[in-house]
């Protein structure tokens, strides 16, 4: 892929600051002008109604909420959601809300949830996050969205053995979540494969709930990540830069 980029791309605009060093090391002209996800999340945050209205529209009571973001692919949901559900009985005073996605059938979620004390609400992820004390999140873009919403999280991931073995052999990275990759440090706990178990998940979730030992530090680190991403308006800056580049060629 790198060879193709170097051959056909004059200048590459990336959306994550940690990618700059990689592409420059391979002799590719690369620029980071910000991440458009900031625009989306900030716009949504500004437009959200008060928490009471959100709870009413979602039919969620006044008690504390833990959000479950189990991924957008069937394989992710099947592998990760059962482990997330193990937390329900450990936190009887919390409401667990599963943020489902429209491209997956309700039956998939229902079969896994069974009789567990979990609400399934589809296509309202941002609203659910905004009223949550903490979240269990499958690795992916959702980890960064959760951080930008200021919600402490535990990152969860489990794949089939063969796929994970190949990934470990080919991909040489210290972290899997965008949050940690951007920060360059372990801001959020990552429970991957066999470390994603009931004991570890209970410990990490407890540490980020109000009064938990890691909650304040994680929220402080979120602010640092927000600064690393830069200001809003990335798409506009990239478009302007492209126009200027075209004028000089």
The predicted structure's pLDDT at residue 161: 54
DSSP string, 65-117: EEEEE--SSHHHHHHHHHHHHTTGGG-TTSEEEEEE-TTS-HHHHHHHHTTSS
In a domain, 141, yes or no: yes
Torsion-angle region of residue 68: left (phi > 0), alpha (psi -120 to 50) or beta?
beta
Q: Is residue 98 situated within a structural domain? A: yes
Looking at residue 20, what is its pLDDT?
92
- Bridge partners of 13, per DSSP, are 31
What domain range is 200 assigned to? Answer: 36-229
Model pLDDT, residue 249 = 72
pLDDT at 248: 81
Q: Is the dihedral of CA 169, 175, 176, 181 positive or negative?
A: negative
Contact call for residues 108 and 85 (beta carbons, < 8 A): no
Q: Is residue 131 part of a domain?
A: yes
- The answer to whether position 245 is within a domain reads no
CB atoms within 10 A of CB 57: 11
pLDDT in tens, the chain (249 residues): 788 888 889 899 999 999 999 899 999 999 999 999 999 999 999 999 999 999 999 999 999 999 999 999 999 999 999 999 999 999 999 999 999 999 999 999 999 999 999 999 999 999 999 999 999 999 999 999 999 999 999 999 998 654 555 455 455 678 999 999 999 999 999 999 999 999 999 999 999 999 999 999 999 999 999 999 999 999 999 999 999 888 887
We report the CATH number of the domain holding residue 128 as 3.40.50.2000
Closest CA relative to residue 30, chosen from 48, 9, 44 = 9
What is the DSSP annotation of 64-78?
-EEEEE--SSHHHHH
pLDDT of residue 45: 95
Whether 25 is covered by a domain: the verdict is no
Residue 156 belongs to some domain of the structure: yes
CA–CA separation, 122 and 102 (whole Å): 6
Overall number of domains in the chain: 1
């Amino acid at each position: 892929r790198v060879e193709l980029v170097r051959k056909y791309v004059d200048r590459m605009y990336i959306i994550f600051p940690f990618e700059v060093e990689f592409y420059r090391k391979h002799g590719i002209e690369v620029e980071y002008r910000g991440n458009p996800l900031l625009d989306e999340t900030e716009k949504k945050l500004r437009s959200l109604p008060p928490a009471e209205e959100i709870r009413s529209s979602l039919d969620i009571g006044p008690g504390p909420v833990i959000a479950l973001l189990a991924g957008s692919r069937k394989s992710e949901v099947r592998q990760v959601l059962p482990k997330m559900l193990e937390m329900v009985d450990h936190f009887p005073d919390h409401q667990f809300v599963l943020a489902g996605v429209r491209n997956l059938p309700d039956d998939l979620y229902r079969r896994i949830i069974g009789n567990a004390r979990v609400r399934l609400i589809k296509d309202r992820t941002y609203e659910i996050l905004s009223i949550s004390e903490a979240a269990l999140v499958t690795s992916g873009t959702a980890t960064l969205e959760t951080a930008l919403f200021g919600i402490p999280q535990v990152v969860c991931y489990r794949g089939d053995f063969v796929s994970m073995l190949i990934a470990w052999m080919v991909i040489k990275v210290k972290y899997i979540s965008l949050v940690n990759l951007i920060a360059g440090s372990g801001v959020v706990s990552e429970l991957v494969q066999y470390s994603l178990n009931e004991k570890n998940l209970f410990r990490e979730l407890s540490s980020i709930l109000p009064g938990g030992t890691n909650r304040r530090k994680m929220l402080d680190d979120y602010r640092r990540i927000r600064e690393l991403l830069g200001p809003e308006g990335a798409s506009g800056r990239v478009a302007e830069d492209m126009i200027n580049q075209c004028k000089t060629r």
